[in-house]
Structure 1
């Protein structure tokens, strides 16, 4: 029993079955870093470099999730889940810092983009619940078959 077992269950991903929904989450995790690669935040700061590194690791963990979903491997799905949980918490803190920096510089457009990013990471919590529900199904199916 892990802390992942305490997360709430969902029955579908916006009406789609959990495996397909988890694949969509993995695909979004692969495409998601491209938004940062094409970032229009030109002055590079340590905060942005840290965010880019975290997002690159999220990309790598999404590739791991793809393999976990293809092979129905609970461990690979769990690796993505643990990193995604840490990622969401750290990224929300980074986004708050970024919003404070842009607010102090009176850069309204960038604050708006950061707020949209924060909403995205709130949605990522739902993605985590979808993948975790699928992981639990895989785990229950393997226990029954043994």
Structure 2
């Protein structure tokens, strides 16, 4: 029993089965970093560079999730879940700092975009619950298959 087993279960991803929903989450996570590449936050700061590095690692974690879903590997899904949990917490803190910086500079448009980003990362918590529910299904299927062999 792990801490991930205590997370609540969901039955679907906005009405779609969990495996397809998890595949969509992986695809969104792979496309997601492109929004930062096209960012109009031109002046580079250490805060932005740190955010870009975290997002690049999130891209890699989503590739791992995609392979885990294709291979029905619960361990690769678990790796994504743990990184995503850490990623969401750290990114929300970074976005709060970024919002404070842009608020102090009176850059309302950038503050609005940062707030939208914070809402996105809050939605990512739901993504974690979907992938975790699919991981639990994979573990149950693997347990049933091992029981049949014995």
Question: TM-score, length-normalised on structure 1?
Answer: 0.99
Matching residue of 1:82:
82
Structure 2 match to 1:92 = 92
- Shift of residue 140 of structure 1? 0.5
2:55 is matched with 55
List runs of 5+ in structure 2 lacking aligned partners: none
* CA deviations over 1:124-146 (Å, ceiling 9, x no partner): 00000000000000001100110
**Which residue of structure 1 lines up, in the alignment, with residue 145 of structure 2?**
145
Q: Which digits, 9 at most, give the CA deviation of each residue in 1:97-118, with x for residues without a partner?
A: 0000000000000000000000
Q: Does 1:135 align with 2:138?
A: no
SS at match of 2:120: helix
Which runs of structure 2 are paired with 1:1-146 in the superposition (5 Å)? 1-146=1-146
Task: Count how many residue pairs are aligned between Structure 1 and Structure 2.
Answer: 146
Large movers: runs of 4+ above 2 Å: none
- Greater radius of gyration (CA): 2
Shift of 1:53: 0.2
RMSD: 0.3
Name the CA distance, whole Å, in 2 between partners of 1:96 and 1:4: 27
Displacement of 1:13 in angstroms is: 0.2
Q: In the TM superposition, what is the alpha-carbon distance from 1:70 to its structure 2 partner?
A: 0.4
